[in-house]
Structure 1
Amino acid sequence: MDVAAVKEHCCRYPGASSKLYGPPSNVLVYYAGGKKFAYFKTSEPEQWRFSVRTTPEYFLALTDVPGIKPARYMARFHWVTIVDVGAVPTDYLIDLIDWSYTKAVARSSKASRRHE
């Protein structure tokens, strides 16, 4: 799966939206229910590195895989950065994105219930 295919996949989720942030952050963020579920870095030297949220258990396992590292500033929330999306098997990458999307939707549902 290449960068374009991942972008397309992230936009297909029900209620998903994206927003491009310019300098200084330079990221393309995907949201579900107002909660972030994935993002791409859009500037060099880390252009097109892709980040998603994982479970604490997956976080530990994934950060031992070459080409996957803790996400800068977001690692404490169990986010990982995939250096090259093309190097990760498509099914596995889709599973990671699916889980991150589901977690974002669940978090947004809890937040909306608190405000009722």
Structure 2
Amino acid sequence: MNVEQVAAYCLALPGAREDYKWGGVRVFSIADTKMFAVMGLAGNDLSFKVGPELFLGYVDRPGVRPAPYLARAHWITLTYPLAMGDAELTDLLARSHQQVAAKLPKWRQAALKL
């Protein structure tokens, strides 16, 4: 997937929106503040949350590293070209979205139809 395909996929997830923060970072979030993916504006990297049980397995792969400042929350960073196939990437992005959405209050989940 290229940068715009990844961005389009993230925005197609329920309740997702895009912001630009920190001087050139595209942030995909739910409920205005809960990030589930972060992409460099230059399109050179993509970070997102993975489950704690998957974190160590992914950071051992070539092209994948712990996300700066977010590794303790089990975020990984992929560099372009992406180190995984489209199906695996879309599955992980959907899981990241679901993990973040699950931590929202129930009334917020209902309002976003999650």
Compute the TM-score of the two structures, normalised by the length of structure 2. Answer: 0.85
Change (3 A) 1:48 1:86: same
Q: Give SS of 2:60's match.
A: coil
Q: Which residue of 2 aligns with 1:40?
A: 39
- Please tell me the root mean square deviation across aligned C-alpha atoms, in Å: 1.9
Is the 1:30–1:38 Cα contact (8 Å) retained in structure 2?
A: yes
Alignment gaps of 5+ in structure 1: none
Determine the structure 2 residue equivalent to 1:70.
66
> Which of these residues, 84, 89, 93, is aligned with residue 85 of structure 2?
89
Q: 1:9 to 1:83 in 2, by over 3 A?
A: same
- Between the two proteins, the alignment pairs up a number of residues equal to 108
More off after superposition, 14-23 vs 75-84: 14-23
Match of residue 30 from structure 1: 28
Measure, in 2, the Cα distance between the counterparts of 1:95 and 1:82. 15
Whether the aligned pair in 1 keeps the contact of 2:37 and 2:48 (CA below 8 Å) is: yes
Superimposed CA distance per residue, residues 34-59 of structure 1 (whole angstroms, 9 cap, x where no aligned partner): 3100010225xxx4300010011211
Whether the 8 Å CA contact 2:63–2:82 is kept in 1: the answer is no
* Residue from 47, 52, 59 that aligns with 1:56: 52
Measured in 1, the distance between the counterparts of 2:94 and 2:81 equals 15
Give a deviation string over 1:65-95, Cα, whole Å, max 9, x none. Answer: 0000000000000000011254420010011
Cα contact 2:62–2:83 (8 A) shared by 1: no
Structure 1 residues 29-38 or 102-111, which shifts more? Answer: 102-111
Structure 2 portions without partners, runs of 5+: 110-114
- When normalised by structure 1's length, the TM-score is 0.84
How far apart are 1:64 and its partner, in Å? 0.4
Q: Is the 8 A contact 1:3 1:86 kept in 2?
A: no
Structure 1 vs Structure 2: percent identity of aligned residues?
A: 32
Structure 1 segments, 4+ long, off by >6 Å, are: none
Q: Provide the C-alpha distance between the structure 1 equivalents of 2:82 and 2:66, rounded to a whole number of angstroms.
A: 18
